[in-house]
A and B are shown apart, each in its own frame.
Chain A
């Protein structure tokens, strides 16, 4: 099961990688970075440039976060539980 969100989050980074994030008033520490990918394109429409991070937070849940590089804002997109 996954839950879809796409809400802004505050992310702390360490050596470029997310090390912790704060969502809905709670802080989650990143235990492991599982994956990283980029999405860029759609220049004919809105245009987007996102760097995705799939991280495992302490406690076992897996989260997809992305960094919107055009707006320099972090979003939480998905929770894998």
Chain B
């Protein structure tokens, strides 16, 4: 079967020619190998996105890869030529051309002129096919025009230009072939056979139709599909040669061209960044010097341990060639700090002393016993990757700085390939097939549960589809396409964090394009970056850093103190008291209900305890229940156990329980006598089912050599192998512990300032209203919106007792309130906020009319401000008067009425004083207005309107729950502020809820067995009452195991009509009775919710 002379496909488009080719580059390599082709080209449209993956797959398949691209020429009717890289220079030219095509034209519409292509023709093969301008003309029997169109290319490419002849077995194919051959003769150019491959096998041609119609956004139908048959597949050599039976030379030419393309992209050869060093010194010596200087700066004693550690790291970094990378990153971090942007290093890089001494990381790896080998390991193929967290609000500034400082040709952002997920594909294909949108949406939603193989059953099971126009045949078609599109690239976006740092060779090996946001972005995703051998820096925007920055700015503004969070003591008692009482709402990493429960149990006393806490709160440790033995041993209820005294050193800090990757590494090293690098490599392969047996054998053999008895070795192996995948990188946890502690410190020391930051940047999992409630709990007054006082963001404000709402009595030490922010006013624009600030910088606003005259704020926003009470403290009358004024006053803006500005304008404004005052807002109206305008109940808690109901229900409030014994049946109530349904060990679905009842949070657990009767209410209601059993989780921590759940608002309504008993009746856990209810109480004082 394979005895035909070979053939090489030179015109092949994969799914990286977005919505054109119908296969991944890897499959191309595999299929070419199956067909025993010596080589195959990948020539995607205006891109080399698939290059790295393709080359890697070709190496595995044993096929020679040829890299090229199909370049779009001109705008409008898409003409194109195919270019193939012969060598390094050719590839550099190709990258340059693709970059130009993307960067010089409209974004998303890459194209070049023939002149541009001719200017960079060196070492590129050019295939002039039927889609090229000349080819089109030739096929249209305009040979002379075709000759003229081709001649510049002929001149630029010389004998590297070929006429590409395709025979797709269409009615006119014969004529086309003859026309192309005539063109070749006319410009004295050789011809080569190609097949414009878009799918690998004919059966997949339908995908190409679907992609084409989705690309052009037209319905799939005969008028919109260009192919007439399925001949554009990866034909075998025999098939290709049969097609061109009469001209075997056209097939032979493919081999010749393939021969001439010798370019090797050279995967995994690392391309280090450049770092200019003074006086020709090596980057390594500069790095060493910086580290020694850093030791001074960090006041670190150069003990023998420290010196050895530094030498080891520096020599490893030097050996691997990473010195310039570290210097570059250190400079970038210094630049970020110099911009006044908070930043923090995350991940395993925190395990490096070099990172600590050069200021990249703020964690002392010697003190915390972190391993460099977990970060950089010469035995690993991965390149080191440093992740820097920066203030989310400043991330783009940081990007701009890094990209401009590092140079256009040497740094660029990483691409993220957005791929089709089954659901999205169903929607899009459904649209293209012209199926009814609503029904397709239903099918898409139900997707993982219904698959292509049981569509008919699914249709019957989905009541929404009954009686619809969707029949099984259409659905089968839909699924046939949509399932295949799963994983196809949909479009390319900016990776949220990655920046490649390289030398100026970068643009010669990867094309660039512009992201939607305008950033220069390489045509490579993060995996490609690794394959292509580029070092990258991840810059992640973290909202908590912005929140802390805001807090620090507020402290500086109000207290005139410059707090340096890097210098705060790490054993601050109030901070640890706050952590131990799990008063950690708003704090980094430790605010979730689960974390607060863990804090209760763990009772952290030292900074190091935070590292343990963060490490333990992971699916792994939770799943394998490492927490219980750890806590028992820590509490002294159980003796620490070590499989062998040898491991005491590695495991002592966690009482013999393996918590960290670092401990796994150390234990393996201790048992086997291997160095830490080897031990880390072993750790990484422990979860590899194929290798684990061999590793085990070696482990036990080495243990024996090291003098460990067989039984002990077995025991250690069991522990190591079962805990390895669960453990957490201690360096990572230690890096996280820095902002965790800092945020807790800020909350303990400057709660108003800190919470103002949290409210402004919204970093956590809780809605703002819960944070506001938390502030109130801390005696911080929530100061109402005020046109003269409110700033764009939430700010801390010294409370003036006589003018402001009363401050709770128990907060003598708290002098601050939090002022509500203008930016949260519904509908307000930045320009309007600026206009308010500018006008009031002259003088405060006197009344609504004054505000209307001196600002450019639109009428609806002025009304919203009045409605929410922002004018309550100026002018006279009720809030309704002010709202009325805001609605009817004719705002003669400043300038139009300069002369009258000093007194209330008579003719143009309805003077409120002359009217009878309108009634003041009720409390309920005040809160409702706040919810409408600001989206939060700022002055009063929603729950406060249900007080009489809560009393009737016998609700126990959050602040009193801790006094109750375990297993007490209790009724709780509150606003739902968070719900999570994480996967847990037993596999059952558990819903974790946090309710807020105005005295604090109440954690509720809803187990699967009660979900049938509760789930609907839990998910759909906003205010809930829960009947359940109290479970103690720590000293002050409790959670409620739900037995039944009601919608509080529904109960409220039932109570007003005297039907509360009936509404509650469906409850009835055996053996537990509801607390007595005082239903005869009148329902007076109801707010009307």
CB-based contact B202/A52 at 8 Å: no
Q: How far is the CA of A43 from the CA of B202 in the complex (A)?
A: 13
| Interchain nearest-CB distance for A32 vs B (Å) | 14
Which A residue sits closest to B175, measured CB to CB?
Answer: A35
Against B, the Cβ 8 Å flags (1 = close, 0 = not) of A18-50 are 000000000000000001111111111100000
CB-based contact A44/B221 at 8 Å: yes
Instruction: List, in ascending order, chain B residues with CB within 8 A of A45's CB.
Output: 221-222
Tell which of A41, A43, A52 touches B171, judged by Cβ atoms closer than 8 Å.
A52
What are 14 pairs between A and B in contact, CB < 8 Å? A35-B174, A37-B170, A38-B170, A38-B228, A38-B229, A38-B230, A39-B228, A40-B202, A40-B228, A41-B227, A42-B222, A43-B209, A45-B222, A52-B171
Q: How far is the CA of A38 from the CA of B171 in the complex (A)?
A: 8
CB-based contact B174/A44 at 8 Å: no
Which B residue sits closest to A37, measured CB to CB?
Answer: B171
> Which of A40, A43, A44 has most chain B Cβ within 10 Å?
A44
Q: How far is the CA of A37 from the CA of B221 in the complex (A)?
A: 21
Q: Which 6 A-B pairs have the closest CB atoms?
A: A38-B229, A40-B229, A40-B230, A43-B206, A37-B171, A38-B169
CB-based contact A41/B205 at 8 Å: yes
Which residues, 409 to 446 on B, are CB-close (under 8 Å) to A? Answer: 433
Instruction: List, in ascending order, chain A residues with CB within 8 A of B221's CB.
Output: 44-45
CB-based contact A41/B230 at 8 Å: yes
Instruction: List, in ascending order, chain B residues with CB within 8 A of A42's CB.
Output: 222
| Interchain nearest-CB distance for B954 vs A (Å) | 64
**Interface membership of B225, Cβ < 8 A:** yes
Which residues does A use to contact B, with CB under 8 Å?
Answer: 35-45, 52
| Interchain nearest-CB distance for A42 vs B (Å) | 6
Q: How far is the CA of A35 from the CA of B178 in the complex (A)?
A: 14
Q: How far is the CA of A42 from the CA of B477 in the complex (A)?
A: 12
Q: How far is the CA of A26 from the CA of B209 in the complex (A)?
A: 41
CB-based contact B228/A41 at 8 Å: yes
> Which of B169, B222, B227, B231 has most chain A Cβ within 10 Å?
B169
| Interchain nearest-CB distance for B1023 vs A (Å) | 50
Which B residue sits closest to A36, measured CB to CB?
Answer: B169
Q: How far is the CA of A38 from the CA of B225 in the complex (A)?
A: 15
Count of B interface residues, CB-CB < 8 Å: 20
Given contacts A39-B229, A45-B222, 18 further A-B contacts (CB under 8 A): A35-B171, A35-B174, A37-B173, A38-B169, A38-B170, A38-B229, A38-B230, A40-B202, A40-B230, A41-B209, A41-B229, A41-B230, A42-B222, A43-B206, A44-B209, A44-B220, A44-B433, A45-B221
Q: How far is the CA of A37 from the CA of B220 in the complex (A)?
A: 23
Which residues, 227 to 252 on B, are CB-close (under 8 Å) to A? Answer: 227-231
Q: How far is the CA of A41 from the CA of B202 in the complex (A)?
A: 10
Which B residue sits closest to A51, measured CB to CB?
Answer: B169
Against A, the Cβ 8 Å flags (1 = close, 0 = not) of B178-207 are 000000000000000000000000100110
| Interchain nearest-CB distance for A21 vs B (Å) | 20
Which A residue sits closest to B231, measured CB to CB?
Answer: A38
Q: How far is the CA of A45 from the CA of B219 in the complex (A)?
A: 12
Which B residue sits closest to A47, measured CB to CB?
Answer: B206
Instruction: List, in ascending order, chain A residues with CB within 8 A of B231's CB.
Output: 38
| Interchain nearest-CB distance for A49 vs B (Å) | 8
Q: How far is the CA of A52 from the CA of B172 in the complex (A)?
A: 12
Instruction: List, in ascending order, chain B residues with CB within 8 A of A39's CB.
Output: 228-229
Instruction: List, in ascending order, chain A residues with CB within 8 A of B169's CB.
Output: 36-38
| Interchain nearest-CB distance for B198 vs A (Å) | 13
CB-based contact B477/A44 at 8 Å: yes
Instruction: List, in ascending order, chain B residues with CB within 8 A of A40's CB.
Output: 202, 205, 228-230
| Interchain nearest-CB distance for A51 vs B (Å) | 9
Q: How far is the CA of A35 from the CA of B171 in the complex (A)?
A: 7
Which B residue sits closest to A44, measured CB to CB?
Answer: B220
Q: How far is the CA of A52 from the CA of B170 in the complex (A)?
A: 9
Q: How far is the CA of A39 from the CA of B477 in the complex (A)?
A: 20
| Interchain nearest-CB distance for B231 vs A (Å) | 6
CB-based contact B209/A37 at 8 Å: no
CB-based contact B229/A37 at 8 Å: yes
Q: How far is the CA of A35 from the CA of B225 in the complex (A)?
A: 23
Instruction: List, in ascending order, chain B residues with CB within 8 A of A37's CB.
Output: 169-171, 173, 229
Q: How far is the CA of A37 from the CA of B228 in the complex (A)?
A: 10
Tell which of B174, B225, B433 touches A41, judged by Cβ atoms closer than 8 Å.
B225
| Interchain nearest-CB distance for B326 vs A (Å) | 56
Q: How far is the CA of A36 from the CA of B172 in the complex (A)?
A: 10
| Interchain nearest-CB distance for B465 vs A (Å) | 20
| Interchain nearest-CB distance for A45 vs B (Å) | 8
Instruction: List, in ascending order, chain B residues with CB within 8 A of A35's CB.
Output: 171, 174
Against A, the Cβ 8 Å flags (1 = close, 0 = not) of B688-713 are 00000000000000000000000000
| Interchain nearest-CB distance for A77 vs B (Å) | 12
Instruction: List, in ascending order, chain A residues with CB within 8 A of B202's CB.
Output: 40
| Interchain nearest-CB distance for A37 vs B (Å) | 5
Q: How far is the CA of A39 from the CA of B171 in the complex (A)?
A: 9
Against A, the Cβ 8 Å flags (1 = close, 0 = not) of B21-43 are 00000000000000000000000
Which B residue sits closest to A64, measured CB to CB?
Answer: B171
Instruction: List, in ascending order, chain B residues with CB within 8 A of A41's CB.
Output: 205-206, 209, 222, 225, 227-230
Which B residue sits closest to A43, measured CB to CB?
Answer: B206
| Interchain nearest-CB distance for B430 vs A (Å) | 12
> Which of B174, B228, B229, B230 has most chain A Cβ within 10 Å?
B229
Which B residue sits closest to A34, measured CB to CB?
Answer: B174
Instruction: List, in ascending order, chain A residues with CB within 8 A of B227's CB.
Output: 41
Q: How far is the CA of A40 from the CA of B206 in the complex (A)?
A: 10
Which A residue sits closest to B170, measured CB to CB?
Answer: A37
| Interchain nearest-CB distance for A40 vs B (Å) | 4
Instruction: List, in ascending order, chain B residues with CB within 8 A of A43's CB.
Output: 206, 209, 477
| Interchain nearest-CB distance for B179 vs A (Å) | 15
Q: How far is the CA of A37 from the CA of B229 in the complex (A)?
A: 9
| Interchain nearest-CB distance for B660 vs A (Å) | 56
Instruction: List, in ascending order, chain A residues with CB within 8 A of B477's CB.
Output: 43-44
Which A residue sits closest to B474, measured CB to CB?
Answer: A44
Q: How far is the CA of A41 from the CA of B230 in the complex (A)?
A: 7
Q: How far is the CA of A42 from the CA of B220 in the complex (A)?
A: 9
Instruction: List, in ascending order, chain A residues with CB within 8 A of B433's CB.
Output: 44
Q: How far is the CA of A42 from the CA of B169 in the complex (A)?
A: 17
| Interchain nearest-CB distance for B958 vs A (Å) | 59
| Interchain nearest-CB distance for A75 vs B (Å) | 16
Q: How far is the CA of A11 from the CA of B228 in the complex (A)?
A: 24
Q: How far is the CA of A44 from the CA of B220 in the complex (A)?
A: 7
Q: How far is the CA of A37 from the CA of B172 in the complex (A)?
A: 8
Q: How far is the CA of A44 from the CA of B206 in the complex (A)?
A: 9
Q: How far is the CA of A59 from the CA of B169 in the complex (A)?
A: 27
Q: How far is the CA of A36 from the CA of B171 in the complex (A)?
A: 7
Instruction: List, in ascending order, chain B residues with CB within 8 A of A52's CB.
Output: 171
Which A residue sits closest to B230, measured CB to CB?
Answer: A40
Instruction: List, in ascending order, chain B residues with CB within 8 A of A38's CB.
Output: 169-170, 228-231
Instruction: List, in ascending order, chain B residues with CB within 8 A of A36's CB.
Output: 169
Q: How far is the CA of A45 from the CA of B230 in the complex (A)?
A: 16
| Interchain nearest-CB distance for A65 vs B (Å) | 13
Which residues, 469 to 493 on B, are CB-close (under 8 Å) to A? Answer: 477
Q: How far is the CA of A42 from the CA of B222 in the complex (A)?
A: 7
| Interchain nearest-CB distance for A24 vs B (Å) | 25
> Which of A35, A38, A39, A42 has most chain B Cβ within 10 Å?
A38
Instruction: List, in ascending order, chain A residues with CB within 8 A of B206's CB.
Output: 41, 43
Q: How far is the CA of A36 from the CA of B243 in the complex (A)?
A: 11
| Interchain nearest-CB distance for B84 vs A (Å) | 29
Instruction: List, in ascending order, chain A residues with CB within 8 A of B173's CB.
Output: 37
Q: How far is the CA of A35 from the CA of B173 in the complex (A)?
A: 9
